[in-house]
Amino acid sequence: MLFQDHEAMKQQPPLSPKRPRSDSSSENSPKLRDLEDDVARIYRQKQKDTETQRREFEKERLQLLEKLQQVEQTKKSKKLELYQNQEETTKETTKETTKGTTKEVDKFLESCEQWQSKLNKLSVDLTGKAEDLEREEVENVVRDIVTSVEIKMLKRQIPWLNGNKRLRSLKQLMDDRVVELETQLAQKRAVEREKEMELSSLRADQDELLRPSHAVPKEEWDALVSVKEAMTTELLKLNEQLKQQSEQFVRVSEERDGLNQQNHKLQEEVKRLQSEKNKRRKEEIKILYVKFSSSMDDVAEKTMRIKELEQECKDARMQGCKDAKSRTHDLKAEKKDLELQIAQLQQDQSDLLESEYHEKENMSKELAKVQKNMRS
């Protein structure tokens, strides 16, 4: 109110002495001059009073700004003390200040508190969103690195698994073949024992028939001789087959020994490959640790950037408290900047989500291909 009165008085034109228009006005000229002098003196006195009031108001405003800074530093407890001090100062200066000045100061304090609460809320929301984005970014980076390492390890294990499958199938076939040959050999030996027993019984019968007490007709004797010859030829054939089976069994045993040696070599090769794979895993883990540490450094840089933004917000609040009108404009501009930063962060988040979605699709396709190759 005082500023408005002062500006209005400045805009008014200075009082100039009126020229006499007639004789009657010339008679009243001393009175008019006295009135003009009184008005000029009153104007100067009013101007001095307004200037003193303006200075006092400026001092009071500076005191209020200092108290506001103390309120920001000491929070709610210091706010109560600030209001008490303000009441004391207002009681001391009630004779010099007007009701309009106190109302403007109260409105200014309320607007400062409202903007301060809005800025605190925006800074808290911004820090929370930034922390969430950083956490999601770190988790996505670590997850992508782990999935890529798993896919590489699966791709490297495919030929080794295929070789083990072929080795197991070949070993199973050789074992089945050995068992089959052993059963055939046992059957041949059983048949040979039966033939030997039958031959021994026939020899016993022949000896018994050759005795003088057992006279056999010539035809029956010839039949028995032919049966004996047939049995001997069959026995020779069985012996030859048995010999062939024994030789085949020996060859199979040699092949089995060769396969066992090859299996031993393959096991040593598998151990060597396993040790190399472990070394590669250790190296990849080291690389992952380096990447993770670099991502954590990025997170630390972002946190430092957030702290700098908070400090800038605090500086902006302190700078805004010095001048109410300029502070309102600056706060609006800062609010727009914060909204733009929030929009940019949301855009970055959407871009990150989209890229993560594409990477997940690519990873799922590669995993499907790897599983298909493993099944085939």
pLDDT digits (tens, 9 = 90+) for 167-176: 777 778 877 8
Q: What is the pLDDT of residues 126-148, one digit of tens each?
A: 777 767 776 777 777 777 777 77
Distance of alpha carbon 321 from alpha carbon 108, whole angstroms: 9
**What would the pLDDT profile of 217-229 be if each residue is shown by its tens digit?**
667 777 777 877 8
**What percentage of the chain carries pLDDT values higher than 70?**
58
Name the more confident of 247 and 341.
Answer: 247
Nearest to 231 by CA among 207, 206, 196, 204: 196
Domain layout of the chain by residue ranges: 1-9+28-97
Rounded Cα distance between 208 and 202, Å, is 10
Residue 356 has pLDDT above 70, yes or no: no
Is pLDDT above 70 for 93? no
Distance of CA 376 to the CA centre of its chain: 33
The pLDDT-based confidence of 78 (bands split at 50, 70, 90) is low
Higher pLDDT residue, 17 or 116? 116
Residue 29 contacts residue 66 (beta carbons within 8 Å): no
Name the residue with higher pLDDT: 11 or 365: 365
Average pLDDT over residues 67-80: 65
**174-213 residue pLDDT tens:** 778 778 878 888 887 888 788 778 777 777 766 666 554 4
Q: Is the pLDDT of residue 27 over 60?
A: no
Give the span between the Cα atoms of 266 and 29, in whole angstroms.
132
- Mean pLDDT along residues 96-114: 67
330 near 316, Cβ under 8 Å? yes
The C-alpha torsion from 59 through 61 and 67 to 68, rounded to 10°, is -160
The DSSP element (H or E) to which 229 belongs, if any, is helix 218-322
The arithmetic mean of pLDDT across residues 331-345, rounded, is: 72
Q: Tokens 């996505």 — which residue?
A: 140
